[in-house]
């Protein structure tokens, strides 16, 4: 089962800033996206729904400190990437 990852313009800007700030995470980030496209429910991604103002989103882990927030459209088999960054950065209401 494979999903299509949708990279919005705002996500691409955030991802570029994240990559510049954390070049040491490049390979881990790439592997996270590959696994997400293959199986968003893989245990190592630790996917979970968010609450409050971000309740329309889910979060996955790149590692213990960094997350990606996303929208999942199960019926369409699409995953829209929303934000990437530290725990504090991605959980702030946008």
Q: What is the pLDDT of residues 16-32, one digit of tens each?
A: 999 999 999 999 999 99
Q: Which domain, by its residues, includes 75?
A: 4-91
Q: Which two tokens stand for residue 61?
A: 């882990």
CATH of the domain at 24: 3.30.2310.20
When pLDDT is averaged across residues 55-83 and rounded to a whole number, the result is 88
Query: Rounded to 5 degrees, what are φ and ψ at 65?
Result: -100, -25
0.85 cut: is pTM over it? yes
Q: Which two tokens stand for residue 9?
A: 């313009």
Q: Give the chain's domain count.
A: 1
pLDDT of residue 90: 84
Q: pLDDT band for 43, please (50, 70, 90 cuts).
A: very high
| Long-range contacts of the stretch 52-57 (C-beta < 8 A, 24+) | 52/93, 53/93, 54/91, 54/93, 54/94, 57/82
Task: Report the chain's mean pLDDT, rounded to a whole number.
Answer: 89
pLDDT of residue 88: 84
């Amino acid at each position: 089962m494979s999903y299509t990852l949708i990279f919005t313009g705002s996500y691409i800007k955030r991802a570029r800033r994240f990559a510049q700030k954390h070049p040491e995470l490049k390979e881990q980030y790439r592997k996270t996206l590959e696994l997400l496209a293959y199986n968003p429910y893989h245990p190592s991604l630790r996917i979970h729904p968010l609450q409050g103002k971000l309740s329309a989103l889910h979060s996955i882990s790149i590692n213990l400190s960094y997350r990606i927030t996303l929208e999942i459209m199960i019926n369409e088999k699409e995953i829209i990437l929303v934000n990437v960054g530290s725990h504090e950065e991605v959980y702030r209401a946008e």
